[in-house]
Structure 1
């Protein structure tokens, strides 16, 4: 009888060893986490693109004279106007407009022909301080101003 008991015990151990280990509770926890997570709404398509030129060596007041000419115009029309303006600020302004248009086309897939300038402004940048020699060994201050030009384009 002792041999039968040993063989029964050995058989029971083999059955236990062959039984698969249960990992279901771990998977169930992951499934519960996935079910609890709410679906995120799709991000809305951006309607505008912007570009900023920092510390342009032109005073903000002189840059605003050029910016007022192209505010609210189509991008292609604005670039045509700036090509014929005899102002030093027209070149950095046109570069900034081209950059904003490129951002709109490449990053957001907007149509090139329907872009217009919705916002364009110049703000104060850094100031470079210099001195001018004056009479009797004195000196006067000279401030060379810079500006930041920001352009925002949208689709019509």
Structure 2
């Protein structure tokens, strides 16, 4: 939890999601207020929505700990997904060969601001 210039931050790390697919959802909620963002995340059919909603609720709960105000007065200031370490696996192929599989992870960071 970070509180600089009335901004509150929450981070989720090492999620087994592709950063590109997470960014696609984060672009939809960036700049919106809390209530609109939660509504969008509930009805979008993408897998990252659940993790993003959890991170957003964590940021709002961090703000409530620092005695800010009503949930509806929060605006999503920054929302971004960074790459985490890739899990490296191998798929067996014909004639004793191995095919590498890279399973991506990501870190989601959401910063909200009280208006």
TM range (shorter): over 0.9
Aligned length: 112
List gaps (5 residues or longer) in structure 2. none
Residues 46 and 108 in structure 1, CA contact (< 8 A), matched pair in contact too:
no
SS in 2 for 1:126: coil
Which structure would you say has the larger Rg?
Answer: 1
Once the two structures are superposed, residues 55-93 of structure 1 have per-residue CA deviations (whole angstroms, 9 ceiling, x without a partner) of 111010010111011000001110000000000000000
1:81 aligns with 2:40: yes
Q: Which protein has the bigger helix share?
A: 1
SS in 1 for 2:99: strand
- Computed over aligned residues only, the root mean square deviation of the Cα atoms, in angstroms, reads 1.3
List gaps (5 residues or longer) in structure 1. 1-44
Q: Report the TM-score when normalising by structure 1.
A: 0.69
Q: Report the TM-score when normalising by structure 2.
A: 0.92
Which structure 1 residue ranges, 4+ long, deviate > 6 Å from structure 2? none
Residue among 33, 38, 57 paired with 1:98: 57
Once the two structures are superposed, residues 100-142 of structure 1 have per-residue CA deviations (whole angstroms, 9 ceiling, x without a partner) of 0111111242432210100000001121100011111100100
